[in-house]
Amino acid sequence: MRATKYIWFNGKLVPWKSAKIHVLSHSLHYGTGAFEGIRMYQTDKGPAIFHLKRHMERLIFSAKSLGMKLPYTLDELMQAAVETVRKNKLKSCYIRPIAFFGFGEVRVLPTNCPVEVAIAAWPWGAYLGDEPARITVVKTLRIHPQTLRVSAKVSGHYVNSMLAGREATDRGFTEALQLDYEGNIAEGPGENFFIVKGKIISTPKLGSILPGITRESVMTLARDLGYKVVERTLTVKDALSADECFFTGTAAEVTAIASIDNKKMKKANGPVTKQIREDFLKITRGENPKYKKWLTFVNPVRDRGRSK
């Protein structure tokens, strides 16, 4: 990971090295941070952030799930992200906003802890590599929806993701597939999951998963391409008998799945995954006018087209 020059921290841009927190910050001890992962892509009109508004809305929602009131409005957070990538002169990157309880006092309820907000950005390539992923169904179940607010992106939830991911990579797989508390497929540690059978694309229904913004975008795109898209209960058996499977996520984008527990998919990187992946990437690069509304262009209008 390459450091950039500035991080937006509590309202102003500070040098990367100076964006520090107190060791007794509440969120460090209790996992009470709300965060986002966003990507910015190069387009022929300069850099554009993919679904900036949806991500910042989810950040506010995640913070609210922790009883955390952000000291910035949606517009201010969007503007801060734009300022961060502009000041760092980035053309394409990953953007990481995080809101957390800082140091006030050390106790489980963050009553006297200030809410702090930071936004960092840095260049970042493919998350799961360029090859179709070899995944494994792990023993670590996805969080029970009555244990934590699964639909929020909260730092503490990622202990579950980290353990699942480690279980998979320790056994030589690219990524984990997690089941929910009922034994049905939930999602990957940082990705939503889809199967393709004929012209029908299915994905686990909401309840035990993070409602991914890429998931939502891919469902819209797939429907527009003429596929039937269904949100339902999915079993491992459904996945193994599918034609194709793929993951979606801001980091993973659209990643084809080659095998589950070494059982090869009928088609690893099959035609539907390939079409969705290519069309999705075209959208992120601003090459499909129909979905331009999903992009926030970073450069002032007068400069667009000059920054490639």
Ligand X SMILES: Cc1ncc(COP(=O)(O)O)c(C=O)c1O
Quote the CA–CA distance of 57 and 91 in Å, as a whole number: 24
Quote the CA–CA distance of 279 and 146 in Å, as a whole number: 37
Decide if residue 284 touches ligand X (CB under 6 A): no
Answer for the pair 137, 179: CB distance below 8 angstroms, yes or no. yes
User: Smallest distance from the beta carbon of 179 to ligand X, in angstroms?
Assistant: 14
Measured from the CB atom, the residue of 151 and 288 that comes closer to ligand X is 151
Alpha-helical segments (H) within the chain: 26-30, 52-65, 74-87, 158-170, 213-224, 236-240, 271-284
Judged by CB under 6 A, the chain residues 209 through 228 that form the site for ligand X are 210, 212-215
Quote the CA–CA distance of 243 and 305 in Å, as a whole number: 41
Among residues 132, 190, 204, 270, the one that binds ligand X under rule CB under 6 A? 190
Judged by CB under 6 A, which stretch of 65-73, 224-232, 244-252, 270-278 contacts ligand X? 244-252
Decide if residue 135 touches ligand X (CB under 6 A): no
Q: At what angle do helices 52-65 and 213-224 cross, to 10 degrees?
A: 140
Decide if residue 250 touches ligand X (CB under 6 A): yes
Judged by CB under 6 A, the chain residues 27 through 66 that form the site for ligand X are 37
Q: Is 196 helix (H, G, I), strand (E, B) or coil?
A: strand
Residue for token pair 């006092």: 105
Judged by CB under 6 A, which stretch of 75-83, 108-116, 236-244, 248-256 contacts ligand X? 248-256
Among candidate residues 5, 64, 91, 153, the one labeled active-site is 153
Judge whether 87 counts as a catalytic residue.
Answer: no
User: Smallest distance from the beta carbon of 20 to ligand X, in angstroms?
Assistant: 25
**Looking at the chain, how many residues does it have?**
308
Decide if residue 257 touches ligand X (CB under 6 A): no
Decide if residue 97 touches ligand X (CB under 6 A): no
User: Smallest distance from the beta carbon of 50 to ligand X, in angstroms?
Assistant: 10
Decide if residue 249 touches ligand X (CB under 6 A): yes
Which tokens in the block code for residue 7? Answer: 């991080």
Answer for the pair 192, 249: CB distance below 8 angstroms, yes or no. yes
Closest to 56 measured CA to CA, from 117, 127, 125, 145: 117
Q: Which residues are catalytic?
A: 153
Would you tell me which residues interact with ligand X (CB under 6 A)?
37, 153, 161, 187, 190-192, 210, 212-215, 248-250
